[in-house]
Amino acid sequence: MTPWEIDPARSAVLVIDMQRDFVEEGRPMEVPAARGAIPGIRAVCDAARSAGAPVIYTQHVLLDEFDVSPLETAYNPKLRQLGMREGTDGVEIVDELAPMPGDVVIAKHRYDAFHNTRLDSVLRSIRGLNGIDTVIITGTLTEVCCESTARSAFMRDYKVALVSDATGALLEGAQKATEAVVATFFGRVLTSAQVINELAAARVG
């Protein structure tokens, strides 16, 4: 039994960290599977915009002035010198998914897109007070920033939909593992086609 269905009037799409440094070949934090997620992300975003649901992008940003995410760089030392630097083209959203007028872009410094960002405030006000109660998560890395954000959304009482073919993992087996965890404990795992169908059905209804 489906616990809930997507209502475009109360939903927002999150596009997590689809930046050049993650997506493009040869970049410092390349995630090959992220490139495969682009068609699904684009389809979901287009359907959401058509249904009047907001699309919100995040950008993972590191700084040269100081180590803004010291444990992240401790576990991945190459990030102390390169990758996702403020003011570089590496933080830019890839051209294939470029934000449209009316979309929101939010910078973050931790895996969780809610942590010390304006995301929660945007979600709770962009469609009137507490108008959004569902987040549709796309982007990369599935097992890191997408899963961290999904868990955090759940803790804030948002309904969570993780889009299986619109997210890209790095580690072997991580995509299926995250999907299993989310589906069991934190929300629904849907394909892009299922998301689009629910958005369309709600509009017709």
Looking up tokens 């795992």, which residue turns up? 189
The answer, yes or no, to whether the previous bond of 171 is cis (omega within 30 of 0) is no
Q: What is the pairing mode between strands 55-60 and 134-140?
A: unpaired
45 catalytic per annotation: no
- Which of 7, 21, 45, 108 is labelled catalytic? 108
17 catalytic per annotation: yes
Amino acid identity, position 109:
H
Q: Which tokens hold the place of 98?
A: 């470029």
- Which of 21, 45, 112, 145 is labelled catalytic? 145
Strand partners, 159: 134
| Rounded Cα–Cα distance for residues 170 and 70 (Å) | 21
- Which of 17, 21, 112, 165 is labelled catalytic? 17
Residues noted as catalytic:
17, 108, 145
